[in-house]
Every structure is written in C-alpha cells, then in structure tokens.
Amino acid sequence: MRAIVDCNSFYCSCERLFRPDLLHKPVVVLSNNDGCIISRSDEAKDLGVEMAGPYFKAKPLIERHGVATFSSNYNLYGDLSWRVMETLRMLMPPGTVEVYSVDEAFLDLSHLPPAQLREMAMHIRQTVEQWTGIAVSIGVAPTKVLSKVANRLAKKNKAATQCVLVLDSEHRIRQALEKTPVADIWGIGFQYAQKLQRWGIQTARDLQQMNTAWGHKHLGGVTGVRLLRELKGEPCMDMKDELVQKKMIATTRMFGSPVTALKDIREAIATYTSRAAEKLRRQQGAARVVSVFVVPKEASHNSYFRHGPTISQYTSLPAATSITQELIKAALSIVDQLYEPGRTYKKAGVMLSGIVPDDAIQGNLFRGPEQPQHRLLMSMMDNVNFAMRDDILKFASTGTTRNWKMRQELRSPRYTTRWDELPGVG
C-alpha cells in the first residue's frame, strides 16, 4: 500500500503557525512579486477567492472581508517543510519516504497489515501536527495515483474523514473514483481533461474502465498505460530515492519592476550565478556549462496572458569549476551578447549543467589547475554567508542597491531562520 501525506494549504498553515490570531480566519499567500494567489485557507476559498488568480483582481474582495494577505516567505516555508519531512522519516522505516514536493511525500506502507493502515495514518497525522504545527491530510491506497485520489477526498471532507482516507477494498476504490472528476486525476492536465470529457469520460471511474491499448493510443503511450494500470490498482510507479546530486542547477527570478538598463541585468545575473554556485558547492560539484536567459516584456493588446519569448545562450568552460568568479565571468559575457538596448526585461535566470564531482575534474592541457586559495576563499564565503545570512559577503558585480529585486511587500518575518526575526513573547 502507498500513502500520500499532503500539508493542508501549506503556505497559509506556515503563516498561521506564528499568528494564532489567524486561526479559522481567511488567509492567502501571493506569488513572486505579489502577482497571483498561490495558497488559500479554507475560509478564503469559501469567500470565493480564486486560486492562481491575479491579486489586483481579488484585492477588492480580500479587503472587503479582511483577508490576511502575505508575500511568499520561502525561508520560512522551506524550513517548515524540512521539519515535516524529517518527522515522517523518524516515524517510518528507512527508505520508505519519498519527498515529492515542498508539501507532499509518498510513504510505502507495504510492511503494515491492512487492519493497521488507518491507525498508522492517524498516528502520522497527529504526530506531524503535534511536532511541527502543520496540519496534513493522508490518502492510503494500493497505488500512488489512487492514494492521490484518496487524499483529495480526505481534504474535501475533513470533518467526516478526519483528514485520513484509506481505500483498502474494491468497493471503496470504486466509490472514490465515481466522486472524482477526470480533471482532478493526478497526471491528467487541462487539455487531456477537455479531450476526455468530449469523449464522454467524466469521472475517474469512467477512465478506469478503459483498456490499456486505448490508453497507449490516447493518453501519451507508456505514460497513459501506467496511469490506467495505477487506476486499476496495479502499482506501476515505484518509490524513488531522494535526488541528492542534481544534474542541473538553476536560479531564476522575476524582476521586482521592469528592467531596461544593462547594468541592472548584469547585477541580477551575477547575483543569480553566485546563488547557483553556492548550491553547486553544497553538493561538492563543478559545472562545465553556463547558460543564461532573459525574458523581454511585451506590450499586451488583449486580456489574454501570453509568455514573452525567452532569449538564451550558453557557453562551455575550458574546465569544470565551482569558483564563483569564474562562473560570473562566463555568465556576464553571455549577458552582453543577449542584451538589446531599448527593450524592457521582466525575468532572467542562470543554469549550471555538465556537473561532475569536484574531486574528479578532467584536466585541460592548455589550462593550469585551479589555485588552492580560490577554493579556500569560496569555502570561507559560504561559511560566513551561512552564519550571517543575507549575502553579507558578495562580489562587487552583484551590486549594492539591487533595485531590480523581487517585490515582497507583505512578507512575514522569517521566524525560524533569522535570530533578529524570532517571535517574541509579551
């Protein structure tokens, strides 16, 4: 059996954890630059606040009902996510926890007899909430896809299910699938859902009854076959180990306001490269390829949102490196080629790839090895920045004012990761 542990309105729950006055009150959290609504409490949903809707459109409704509004606080959310996942690892045998996202994790419960599944799920839910303060919902079923179905129903009927639903029989599975619209199946996107509905497939139960040959033809080949088998109760998606060594590292951000000056874009790219280099050294890697992209802002003459064109370029380094100044030098040379005077830019990013272990870098006949003092300097910078936070040590090319930084006008304190922002007790 598989289980999915899903934090309830995770970002909102994190904000409420240190604001008990907001318990049972409507709360929303905004995306980067306070653009869209990305998390809503149940009370905000009941008021009609739309998920992923633009903040400026929902603002009159939010202000009318006194909805508490927060900018994204990724330092807080990341730390509390780690606490939830560590709690799950402490409660489960080794190798039975798969972290799926910042607020979700799959559990392998195959070591438990069927009679103990609900009891164990309830124990996990109560322990996570007691130890971390974050409420979770748990769905248990024979496969990952069915566990997601169970979890959705557990969250929709919190009072009746106590946020735990176990699908341990064909009857319960059939009932759950009949209550699940095809658009809400894990792995079915918007376009596939519309196509299935046109064919008369309205619920997950309707889709479950289709054969695998049909799924291979109409649902993307092997992926569709795997989805159908999971719906039929045949496990096809194994538990995955945590990805420790990344094959690509990226740092991308929307600008706080549209940027036109080359100086600002160079500062942003240098800052993003520094951040990516820190992540690279954390996994003891070195990168051979540096890629940079920028996204110009386009004039919109209609009401439909449209992504602007992404302009990108990459360069291969003579030898793999994790030295920040070497990576910044390569990235800034790309920026100078991508920049077009007179254009307005809204987003940029840096990606490091061709990653190899730092202790296994292939030599270059025409280039000497990196100086030991460079690595010592990087190690010292990383240690100081980790201890003092907020890039207390940085390269001059990253700038000092950083007027292009992402807007977070409604961000709450970083309660768990900054000494000077610890909550006080009056």
Q: Are residues 350 and 279 in the same domain?
A: yes
Whether residue 405 is contained in a domain is answered as no
Q: Are residues 141 and 67 in the same domain?
A: yes
Q: Are residues 154 and 202 in the same domain?
A: no
User: Quick one: pLDDT band at residue 325, thresholds 50, 70, 90?
Assistant: very high
Mean pLDDT of 366-391: 76
Q: Are residues 155 and 15 in the same domain?
A: yes
Name the token pair of 179. Answer: 């209550």
Q: Are residues 21 and 69 in the same domain?
A: yes
Residue pLDDT, tens place only, 380-398 = 888 888 877 777 888 888 8
Q: Which domain holds residue 184?
A: 180-242
Measured over the CA atoms of residue 294, residue 54, residue 187 and residue 139, the dihedral's sign is positive
Task: Report the percentage of the chain scoring pLDDT > 70.
Answer: 94
pLDDT above 70: residue 305: no
Mean pLDDT of 193-219: 89
Q: Poorest-confidence range of 4-18, 114-128, 180-194?
A: 180-194
Which residue from 16, 4, 280 is spatially nearest to 143, judged by alpha carbons? 4
User: Quick one: pLDDT band at residue 242, thresholds 50, 70, 90?
Assistant: low
DSSP state of 247: S
Whether residue 416 is contained in a domain is answered as no
Contact (CB, 8 A) for 179 and 153: yes
Q: What is the mean pLDDT of the chain?
A: 88
Which residue from 242, 238, 216 is spatially nearest to 228, judged by alpha carbons? 216
Mean pLDDT of 119-129: 95
Q: Last residue of some domain: 242, 259, 287? A: 242
- Of the two residues 246 and 284, the one the predictor is more confident about is 284
Please tell me the distance from the alpha carbon of residue 276 to that of residue 250, in angstroms, as a whole number: 6
Q: Are residues 234 and 258 in the same domain?
A: no
> HSE-up of 4 (CA within 13 Å, CB side)?
26
Q: Are residues 121 and 159 in the same domain?
A: yes
Q: What local confidence, expressed as pLDDT, does residue 83 receive?
A: 96
Tell me, rounded to whole angstroms, the distance of Cα 204 from its chain centroid.
26
Q: Are residues 305 and 367 in the same domain?
A: yes
Name the token pair of 123. Answer: 């124990």
Residue pLDDT, tens place only, 134-193 = 999 999 999 999 999 999 999 998 888 999 999 989 999 999 999 999 999 998 888 888
Count of the separate structural domains present in the chain: 3
Residues forming beta bridges with residue 287, ordered by sequence position = 321
What are the backbone dihedrals phi and psi of residue 287, each rounded to the nearest 5 degrees, phi first? -110, 145
Q: What local confidence, expressed as pLDDT, does residue 219 receive?
A: 85
- DSSP secondary structure letters along 36-105: BEEEE-HHHHHTTPPTT-BHHHHHHHHHHTT-EEE---HHHHHHHHHHHHHHHHHHS-TT-EEEEETTEE
Residue pLDDT, tens place only, 47-84 = 999 998 889 899 999 999 999 999 999 889 999 999 99
Name the token pair of 209. Answer: 């009854």
Q: Last residue of some domain: 242, 261, 277? A: 242
Q: Poorest-confidence range of 9-23, 126-140, 175-189, 397-411?
A: 397-411
Q: Are residues 195 and 230 in the same domain?
A: yes
Looking up residue 213, the CATH number of its domain turns out to be 1.10.150.20
User: Quick one: pLDDT band at residue 315, thresholds 50, 70, 90?
Assistant: very high
